[in-house]
């Protein structure tokens, strides 16, 4: 009897304990879900353009998915450990810059003179502080130089040799120009050069730089992040456009055009025909639509991309995350390498226009 009672009691106690445990886990989980500490997240892009399933090999798609997933996991780990949004943006962009797949740093396209000119920018949504470098040629990770401009100088934008001099003073890693050589980008350059030679022979006086091939047009990388303290940051890094004019600067290092972050609204990074992004102040425009017209982050991105940009004939896309952790993508191209991850750690990667 005692034993039986004992067993019954034990069973009941065990059931109660189990229920209590489930409840506690659920309660903790619910609490965490609604606490700022797990409302963090990040969204990334690896460029937008004529990216279609037909043009993609299985190997290439797998490589892109792996690279984007790896970047998202790194970003999630950084944020989960309490890393700031600025730190996360820098680390994740460094990872993408080190990959030969993207048109940024290691995988940068070649200019019309066969060199690589790199641009990057970063912005801190808490302080509205920002840093950028343009037309640097020997810096392994331009995003790190941009962050140093933001944090270690009173400036926002440093260009060319002046930017490299500053980076050297701050012990940024330098590489020989050959580091930026990849077969794929060089082939694009050679192909484009042949076209230009033919065009010159045909005596057309069309400005070089108008036409580029496939998805190499917009391989720019970008990250926007919200950290556990509610701070936003965004960053962008690029090699520009294939066969771009020596000295041409697109939107990526331009705060307000390719990159913007403001804790009161959102963090944005863009990729596309940089000139249009500058003319519309695309990234700041999205922030302004949220601040002054009460648009959601997705609505603001859609208005700027599908109305403003498309209306004027520009193409490309943006990624954004708002101060509440809502994530938005918008692009008017066939595809955009992109992904996001929130506090739950589920990394979502997409490539095509689905």
Q: Which residues are catalytic?
A: 220
User: Is the sign of the CA dihedral 277, 115, 112, 220 positive or negative?
Assistant: negative
Binding segment toward its own copies, per CB under 8 A, in 34-42, 71-79, 284-292, 337-345 = 284-292
From candidates 105, 281, 318, 321, binder to its own copies by CB under 8 A: 281
Q: How far apart are CA 24 and CA 28, in angstroms?
A: 6
Structure tokens at 251: 């939107």
From candidates 67, 79, 109, 135, binder to its own copies by CB under 8 A: 135
Q: How far apart are CA 304 and CA 175, in angstroms?
A: 38
From candidates 63, 69, 126, 155, binder to its own copies by CB under 8 A: 155
Instruction: Report whether 153 contacts 147 (CB < 8 A).
Output: no
Structure tokens at 273: 């025909």
Instruction: Report whether 253 contacts 222 (CB < 8 A).
Output: no
Binders of its own copies among residues 226 to 255 (CB under 8 A) are: 245-250, 254-255
Instruction: Report whether 319 contacts 45 (CB < 8 A).
Output: yes
Q: Does residue 339 interact with its own copies by CB under 8 A? A: no
Structure tokens at 236: 């962008």
Choice between 71 and 108, CB closer to its own copies? 108
From candidates 142, 219, 222, 256, binder to its own copies by CB under 8 A: 256
**What is the closest distance, in whole angstroms, from the C-beta atom of residue 303 to its own copies in the complex?**
10
The H or E element spanning position 19 is helix 2-34
Q: Does residue 154 interact with its own copies by CB under 8 A? A: yes
**What is the closest distance, in whole angstroms, from the C-beta atom of residue 244 to its own copies in the complex?**
8
Instruction: Report whether 98 contacts 60 (CB < 8 A).
Output: no
List 269's β-bridge partners, or say none: 259, 319
List 132's β-bridge partners, or say none: 121, 157
**What is the closest distance, in whole angstroms, from the C-beta atom of residue 329 to its own copies in the complex?**
22
Choice between 79 and 130, CB closer to its own copies? 130
Question: What phi and psi values does residue 122 have, to the nearest 5 degrees?
Answer: -145, 145
**What is the closest distance, in whole angstroms, from the C-beta atom of residue 286 to its own copies in the complex?**
11
Choice between 168 and 187, CB closer to its own copies? 168
Binding segment toward its own copies, per CB under 8 A, in 85-93, 154-162, 216-224, 319-327 = 154-162
Q: How far apart are CA 268 and CA 233, in angstroms?
A: 8
Q: Does residue 159 interact with its own copies by CB under 8 A? A: yes
Q: Does residue 108 interact with its own copies by CB under 8 A? A: no
Q: How far apart are CA 15 and CA 255, in angstroms?
A: 58
**What is the closest distance, in whole angstroms, from the C-beta atom of residue 314 to its own copies in the complex?**
10
Binding segment toward its own copies, per CB under 8 A, in 65-73, 100-108, 206-214, 227-235 = 206-214
Q: How many CA atoms lie within 13 A of 60 on its CB side?
A: 14
Binding site for its own copies (CB under 8 A): 123, 128-130, 134-135, 152-163, 165-166, 207, 209-210, 245-250, 254-257, 260, 274-275, 278-281, 284-285, 288-289, 292-293, 312
């Amino acid at each position: 009897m005692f034993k039986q009672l004992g067993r019954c009691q034990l069973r009941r106690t065990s059931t109660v304990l189990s229920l209590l445990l489930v409840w506690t886990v659920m309660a903790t989980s619910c609490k965490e879900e609604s606490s700022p500490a797990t409302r963090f997240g990040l969204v990334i892009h690896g460029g937008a353009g004529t990216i279609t399933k037909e043009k993609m090999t299985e190997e290439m798609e797998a490589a892109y998915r792996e690279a984007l997933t790896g970047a998202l996991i790194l970003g999630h780990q950084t944020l989960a450990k309490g890393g700031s949004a600025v730190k996360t943006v820098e680390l994740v962009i460094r990872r993408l810059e080190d990959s030969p797949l993207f048109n940024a740093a290691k995988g940068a396209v070649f200019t019309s003179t066969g060199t690589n000119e790199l641009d990057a920018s970063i912005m801190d949504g808490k302080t509205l502080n920002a840093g950028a470098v343009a037309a640097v040629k020997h810096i392994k990770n331009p995003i790190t130089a941009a962050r140093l401009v933001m944090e270690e100088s009173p400036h926002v934008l440093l260009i060319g040799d002046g930017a490299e001099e500053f980076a050297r003073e701050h012990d940024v890693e330098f590489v020989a120009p050959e580091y930026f050589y990849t077969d794929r980008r060089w082939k694009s350059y050679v192909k484009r050069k042949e076209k230009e030679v033919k065009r010159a022979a045909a005596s057309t006086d069309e400005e070089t730089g108008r036409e580029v091939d496939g998805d190499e047009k917009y391989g720019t990388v970008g990250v926007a992040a919200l950290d556990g303290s509610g701070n936003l940051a965004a960053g962008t890094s690029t090699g520009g456009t294939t066969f771009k004019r020596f000295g041409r600067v697109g939107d990526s290092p331009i705060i307000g055009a390719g990159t913007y972050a403001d804790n009161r609204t959102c963090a944005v990074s863009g990729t596309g025909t940089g000139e249009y992004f500058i003319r519309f102040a695309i990234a700041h425009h999205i922030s302004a639509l949220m601040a002054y017209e009460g648009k959601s982050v997705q609505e603001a991105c859609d208005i700027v991309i599908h109305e403003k940009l498309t209306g004027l004939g520009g193409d490309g896309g943006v990624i954004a995350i708002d101060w509440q952790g809502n994530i938005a993508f918008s692009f008017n191209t066939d595809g955009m390498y992109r992904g996001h991850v929130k506090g739950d750690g589920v990394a979502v990667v997409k490539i095509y226009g689905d």
